[in-house]
């Protein structure tokens, strides 16, 4: 069977649609539709990667483990060398000795072996801050630490203290704090009372040992000194972070952005793309001499304004560049050179180093962890003095990595320098294949029967493999962005399941959500921009309503959209002068009253029928009669190629120059060609998405379908066509998209599947016909792909069972971070610091907590009535692993909730293999009862509710055995359940009512195949 697979790939979803093709490869029927839902691998509270959260917790555990191991090694060594007594009871009695007094006494008088051991063991507890340049820069508190350390050194000198221990002993005698406390709540106010560094600890050890060895050389011998000092000061070297693979040379690591070669590459790449705009708005490339002048400016500065570039090139101040816009008035320069060529660093000597030496210096600055070693290297190899070397070592440089390695840059940058050429041409001149020719399918020509793990064919895009790999991710590498990684893995599962059922697709069309590749920072930035834009829209709509005498809250959606767009486009006519906003074509003034009348309308600069571009970048406001005179033509075709009375094309270009850059270029004689870019026609442009992630998805899917039959399309067409076909009403009953129903992803896929050249050609013709007839709407009548298309979509939607990715792992937060003190009878307390600062206060509550007893020292807190170590603290449980439904001897259902903490304890007690076997025993619960079913979050069940059997998803499991369900297709359920104004509410059951509802756990495959074992009482 020949079919087309349409895919809508989002950050947490994949919608898909299978369309049957006829002999001419035209879609004639919908075979099936479906949706796969999964987590994006990010914390829903702040958008950070869950891997980061897990890594931070793991680092804390490892630091604690290393401290305990260091204490054990120190204890063993002190005992072996005769400092500590071998008897454990005698050792414990030494705890009563004052370690501060011993640390001071040892500087002047002899210490016994046990006294010295007590002092050294105390020093080993907190051995001071060891600066690491690579981590300090990312630590927001490192500045406060370094200041506190410097202040402490000054205090030691002022108070004439030989060592840190003597200074602490003096404070201890005077009943002053001897702990380093961080004060202040804001970054600006943060400060430590004092802080010690590792060098102070090493100095104290050396001074103490020198004094004691002079008094007792037999005990304080050289062998003991070496081993004890090594245990005290040993620091495990940091594991270096391995960069990703070079796009062109996959076996090479990507070069840092701070590397002068990378900075230089970016500068030449951007300046070679720089174009002068002629008076008729055509683009003119820079000459080689002009290009070199601009590069010279950028090489010496962090950024350069376009006005300064014009002066350097001796061009009129009215000249504009193609990259210049309202939001962009400058080019980035060489940030690394600008930083290192400052008077406080290398000054002008930086430019006397050749390019290779500059790269070597920056490489050292980025990778040398020891500041002292770096300072010495800089002095030896660059001739600077120590003070200058220290300033250079602490200079802030750009972070991150580019896409190319040093080896690739060494070949490409010279080609960019030789001539004013584009990057794509420089790649070929440097002897590389084009990026598309480097794909796996182009290299091998192999069409596979199923998608492999993406790291194999997408080798250029993934990180390097790990040593001793345990799975495919570690064996072949993975993309660092967790959302992309999870999305591609789920795509593989869905596509392979469809191939197994229906065979390989004849064609694939895919649309990839833009947010899938965005970093957390970029997502937050976009959210801020959207909020600002929404606030501006609200303000402009309110202003328009004042003129029209309307109430903003009473506007329907269409009217609000019209007013918002009119106001925004009016501002863009001349954002700097509200009194001089003119019709782009006639030059007549457009005031706000005229703007909001029927005399002015929104129009497409490049005809919609020629572009299918309905974005704001292709719209402006003009007088209605001017729009009619322009007709279905570009501004140049209407007013430049031929002369029309009342229109001056040169004046039109001057008015267009006041608009944003993306609009301005569309008025030029070659505006349509520049919009097309390298596409042969507007249909190719509308059907081709060149975004990074879309290219990756296309490359991946080409493994199971011929590359010429795989297309990634832009998303702008989907929403428009969905509305034209009236598909939104199938889920929402209105013209709005229903995002509270997961099936809207499949609905999008149904539109993506018919977005081909034939449909868009008919759409464009209908639009042109409407324009000729001077209709206000874009199309007179929207042609359906085939007559029963809408009915096919509706029927397929009704048969969808949404597939939710299950997560049956025991891993998760065992409990919350805060420890509570136990007072008995469920009463617990903790100390919290008030929001306005001040001393910490005790908070007392009744809470159910996980009680914790000491395992290392069971007798420390005494024994309980059962003779077991008494619990002394508790934590609020983090989550529940599952709920086990079991049957009692009378056939009634009951349940036990297994917390994540309990699941972890089982794994810890029996080992992972045996523990998982017990957690997933198909016949018995952990309590040994006959198991009916075991439910976890996102599991699906079938319930008889009100006489109808429904497929429900487990969304929440309460510690009291209460389960909460939502229908499989319901989205955004948590927020909607909390919203009193929303009719949606969870369905709640306990074990007994679940039995009454004939509940049973069902499974749903990646493509929505339901397996129902039936109710078993």
Q: DSSP letter string over 847-861?
A: ---EEEE-SS-TTTT
- Round to whole Å and give the CA distance between 440 and 811: 36
Asked whether residue 835 carries a pLDDT value surpassing 70, the answer given is no
pLDDT of residue 514: 61
Q: Place 187 in a pLDDT band, splitting at 50, 70 and 90.
A: low
Our answer to whether residue 815 is catalytic in this structure is: no
966 in Cβ contact with 987 (< 8 Å)? yes
CA-to-CA distance for 218 and 208, rounded, in angstroms? 15
Spatial separation of the C-alpha atoms in residues 284 and 294, rounded to whole Å: 15
C-alpha distances (whole Å) from 848 to each of 38, 545, 755, 851, 1014 are: 32, 56, 56, 9, 37
Q: Which residue has the higher pLDDT, 527 or 862?
A: 862
Q: Which is more confident, 25 or 236? A: 25
Q: Which residue has the higher pLDDT, 529 or 136?
A: 529
> Average pLDDT of 451-461?
90
Residue 517 has pLDDT above 60, yes or no: no
The pLDDT of residue 740? 94
Question: Exposed (0-12), middle (13-18) or buried (19+): which is 819, by Cβ within 10 Å?
Answer: middle
Lowest-pLDDT choice from 2-11, 38-47, 134-143, 962-971? 134-143
Answer with the residue of higher pLDDT: 677 or 246.
246
Size of the chain in residues:
1017
Strand locations in 743-879, DSSP E? 803-804, 820-824, 827-832, 841-846, 850-853, 871-875
Do residues 866 and 911 make contact, with C-beta atoms less than 8 angstroms apart?
Answer: no
pLDDT above 70 covers a percentage of the chain that reads 92
Query: Within 10 Å of residue 927's Cβ, how many Cβ atoms?
Result: 11
Query: What average pLDDT score do residues 977-1006 get?
Result: 94
Q: Which residue has the higher pLDDT, 809 or 47?
A: 809
pLDDT higher than 80, residue 322: yes
What is the spatial distance between Cα 863 and Cα 853, in angstroms, rounded to a whole number?
A: 10
For residue 799, the model assigns a pLDDT of 96
CA–CA separation, 930 and 924 (whole Å): 5
Strands of 940-945's sheet, edge to edge?
A: 987-989, 963-967, 948-957, 940-945, 1000-1004, 1010-1011
Instruction: Please report the pLDDT score of residue 368 as a whole number.
Output: 85
Q: Which of 594-603, 672-681, 738-747 has the lowest mean pLDDT?
A: 672-681
pLDDT tens-place string over residues 691-729: 667 788 888 999 999 988 998 887 767 777 787 788 988
Q: 23: closest CA among 684, 506, 509?
A: 506
Whole-number Å distance between alpha carbons of 664 and 412: 33
CA–CA–CA angle 366, 372, 375 (5° rounding): 65
Both structure tokens of 345: 């660093």
Does residue 792 carry a catalytic annotation? no
The average confidence (pLDDT) of the chain is 87
- For 262-299, the pLDDT digits (tens) are 999 999 999 999 999 888 788 899 999 999 999 999 99
- What are the strands of the beta sheet with 283-285, ordered from one edge? 283-285, 275-277, 320-321
Q: CA 165, CA 115: separation in Å to the nearest integer?
A: 14
Single out the residue of 412, 396, 449 nearest to residue 264, CA to CA.
412
Mean pLDDT lowest among 177-186, 588-597, 616-625, 963-972: 177-186
Q: Report the DSSP beta bridge partners of residue 27.
A: 21
Q: State yes or no: 511 annotated in a binding site.
A: yes
Mean pLDDT of 560-575: 92
Separation between Cα atoms, residue 922 and residue 790, nearest integer Å: 44
Per-residue pLDDT band for 782 (boundaries 50, 70, 90) equals low
What is the structure's pLDDT at 1009?
96
3-state secondary structure of 471: coil
Question: Tens digit of pLDDT for each residue in 477-515?
Answer: 888 778 888 889 999 999 999 999 999 999 999 988 765
Highest-confidence segment of 101-115, 431-445, 811-825: 101-115
Query: What confidence score (pLDDT) does residue 437 get?
Result: 63
CA 244 to chain centre: 16
Is the pLDDT confidence value at 411 over 60?
yes
Task: Supply 484's token pair.
Answer: 């992309």
- The 3-class secondary structure across 759-774, one letter per residue, is HHHHHHHHHHHHHHCC
| Cα–Cα distance list, 507 to 4, 17, 297, 716 (Å) | 5, 12, 50, 21
Nearest C-alpha neighbor of 799 from the set 584, 595, 951, 635? 951
The 10s digit of each residue's pLDDT in 55-65 is 777 788 888 88
Residue scoring higher pLDDT (335 or 140) = 335
Q: How confident is the model at residue 690 (pLDDT cuts 50, 70, 90)?
A: low
> pLDDT: is 134 or 838 the higher one?
838
- Residue 745 annotated as binding? yes
Which region holds residue 604: left if phi is over 0, alpha if psi is between -120 and 50, else beta?
Answer: beta
Q: How confident is residue 140, by pLDDT bands cut at 50, 70 and 90?
A: very low
Residues 6 or more apart whose Cβ sits within 8 Å of residue 405:
246, 248, 249, 252, 253, 254, 255
Q: How far apart are CA 312 and CA 297, in angstroms?
A: 8
Q: In the predicted model, what is the mean pLDDT of residues 439-468?
A: 84
Q: Which residue has the tokens 């495919």?
A: 472
Give percent above pLDDT 90 in the chain. 54
pLDDT score for 229: 93
Dihedral in degrees, nearest 10, Cα atoms 962, 965, 971, 977: -50
Q: Which of 485, 604, 744, 792 is catalytic?
A: 604
Q: Average pLDDT, stretch 756-762? A: 76
Name the band, by pLDDT with cuts 50, 70 and 90, for residue 136: very low
């Amino acid at each position: 069977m020949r079919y087309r697979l349409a895919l809508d790939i989002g950050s947490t979803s994949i919608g898909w649609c299978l369309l049957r093709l006829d002999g001419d490869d035209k879609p004639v029927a919908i075979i099936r539709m479906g949706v796969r839902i999964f987590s994006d691998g990010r914390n829903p509270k702040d958008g950070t990667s869950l891997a980061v959260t897990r890594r931070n917790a793991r680092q804390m555990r490892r630091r604690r483990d290393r401290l305990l191991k260091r204490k054990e090694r120190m204890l063993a060594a002190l005992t072996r060398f005769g400092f500590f007594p071998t008897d454990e009871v005698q050792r414990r009695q030494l705890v009563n000795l004052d370690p501060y007094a011993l640390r001071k006494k040892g500087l002047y008088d002899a210490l016994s072996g046990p006294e010295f051991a007590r002092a050294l063991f105390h020093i080993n507890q907190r051995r001071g801050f060891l600066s690491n340049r690579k981590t300090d820069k990312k630590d927001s508190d490192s500045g406060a630490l370094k200041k506190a350390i410097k202040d402490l050194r000054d205090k030691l000198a002022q108070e004439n203290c030989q060592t840190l221990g003597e200074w602490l002993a003096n404070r201890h005698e005077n009943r002053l704090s001897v702990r380093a406390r961080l004060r202040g709540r804001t970054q600006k106010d943060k400060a430590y009372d004092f802080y010690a560094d590792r060098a102070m600890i090493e100095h104290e050890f050396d001074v103490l040992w020198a004094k004691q060895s002079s008094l007792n050389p037999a005990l304080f011998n050289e062998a003991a000194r070496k081993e004890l000092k090594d245990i005290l000061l040993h620091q495990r070297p940091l594991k270096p972070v391995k960069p990703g693979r070079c796009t062109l040379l996959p076996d090479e690591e990507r070069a840092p952005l701070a590397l002068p070669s990378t900075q230089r590459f970016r500068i030449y790449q951007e300046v070679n793309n720089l174009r002068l705009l002629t008076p008729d708005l055509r683009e003119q490339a820079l000459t080689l001499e002009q290009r070199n002048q601009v590069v010279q400016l950028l090489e010496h500065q962090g950024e350069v304004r376009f006005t300064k570039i014009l002066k350097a090139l001796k061009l009129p101040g009215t000249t504009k560049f193609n990259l210049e816009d309202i939001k962009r008035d400058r080019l980035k320069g060489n940030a690394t050179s600008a930083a290192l060529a400052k008077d406080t660093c290398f000054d002008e000597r930086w430019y006397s180093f050749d390019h290779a030496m500059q790269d070597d210096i920056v490489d050292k600055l980025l990778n040398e962890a020891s500041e002292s070693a770096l300072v010495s290297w800089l002095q030896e190899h660059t001739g600077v003095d120590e003070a200058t070397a220290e300033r250079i070592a602490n200079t802030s440089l750009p972070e991150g990595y580019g896409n190319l390695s040093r080896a690739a840059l060494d070949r490409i940058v010279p080609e960019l320098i030789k001539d004013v050429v584009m990057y794509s041409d420089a790649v070929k001149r440097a002897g590389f294949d084009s990026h598309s020719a480097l794909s796996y399918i182009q290299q091998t020509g192999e069409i596979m029967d199923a998608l492999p793990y993406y790291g194999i064919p997408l080798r250029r895009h993934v990180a390097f493999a790990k040593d001793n790999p345990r799975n495919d991710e570690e064996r072949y590498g993975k993309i660092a962005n967790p959302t992309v990684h999870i999305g591609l893995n789920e795509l593989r599962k869905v596509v392979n399941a469809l191939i197994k059922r229906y065979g390989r697709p004849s064609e694939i069309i895919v649309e990839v959500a833009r947010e899938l590749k965005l970093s957390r920072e970029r997502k937050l930035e976009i959210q801020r921009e959207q909020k600002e834009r929404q606030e501006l829209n609200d303000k402009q709509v309110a202003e328009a309503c004042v003129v029209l005498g309307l109430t903003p809250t009473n506007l329907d959606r269409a009217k609000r959209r019209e007013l918002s767009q009119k106001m925004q486009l009016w501002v863009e006519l001349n954002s700097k002068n509200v009194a001089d906003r003119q019709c782009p074509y006639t030059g007549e003034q457009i005031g706000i009253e005229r703007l909001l009348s029927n005399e002015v309308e929104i129009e497409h600069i490049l005809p919609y029928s020629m572009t299918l571009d309905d974005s704001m970048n292709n719209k402006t406001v003009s007088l209605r009669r001017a729009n009619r005179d322009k007709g279905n033509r570009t501004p140049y075709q209407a007013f430049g190629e031929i002369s029309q009375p009342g229109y001056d094309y040169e004046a039109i270009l001057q008015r267009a120059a006041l608009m944003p850059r993306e609009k301005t270029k569309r008025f030029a004689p070659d505006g349509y060609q520049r919009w097309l870019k390298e596409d042969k026609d507007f249909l190719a442009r509308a059907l081709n998405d060149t975004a990074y992630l879309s290219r990756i998805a296309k490359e991946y899917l080409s493994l199971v379908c011929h590359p010429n039959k795989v297309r990634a399309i832009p998303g702008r067409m989907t929403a428009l066509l969905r509305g034209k076909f009236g598909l939104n009403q199938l889920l929402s009953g209105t013209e709005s998209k229903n995002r509270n129903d997961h099936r809207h992803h499949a609905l999008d896929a149904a539109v993506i599947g018919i977005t081909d050249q034939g449909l868009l050609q008919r759409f464009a013709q209908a639009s042109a016909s409407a324009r000729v007839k001077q209709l206000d709407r874009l199309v007179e009548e929207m042609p359906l792909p085939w007559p029963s298309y809408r009915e096919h979509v509706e029927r397929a939607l009704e048969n969808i069972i949404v597939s939710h990715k299950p997560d049956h792992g025991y891993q998760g937060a065992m409990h919350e971070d805060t420890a509570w003190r136990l007072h008995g009878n469920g009463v617990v307390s903790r100390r919290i610091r008030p929001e306005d600062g001040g001393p910490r206060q005790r908070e007392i509550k009744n809470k159910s907590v996980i009680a914790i007893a000491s395992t290392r020292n069971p007798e420390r807190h005494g024994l309980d009535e059962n003779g077991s170590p008494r619990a002394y603290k508790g934590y609020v449980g983090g989550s529940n692993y599952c709920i086990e439904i079991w049957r009692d001897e009378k056939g009634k259902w009951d349940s036990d909730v297994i917390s994540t903490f309990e699941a972890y304890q089982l794994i810890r007690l029996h080992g992972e293999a045996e523990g998982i076997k017990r957690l997933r025993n198909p016949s018995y619960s952990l309590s040994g009862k006959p198991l009916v079913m075991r439910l976890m979050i996102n599991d699906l069940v079938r319930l008889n509710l009100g006489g109808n059997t429904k497929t429900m998803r487990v969304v929440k499991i309460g510690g009291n055995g209460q389960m909460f369900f939502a229908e499989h297709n319901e989205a955004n359920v948590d927020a909607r359940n909390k919203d009193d104004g929303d009719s949606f509410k969870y369905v709640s059951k306990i074990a007994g009512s679940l039995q009454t509802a004939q509940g049973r756990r069902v499974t749903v495959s990646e493509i929505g195949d339901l397996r129902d074992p039936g109710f078993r009482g």
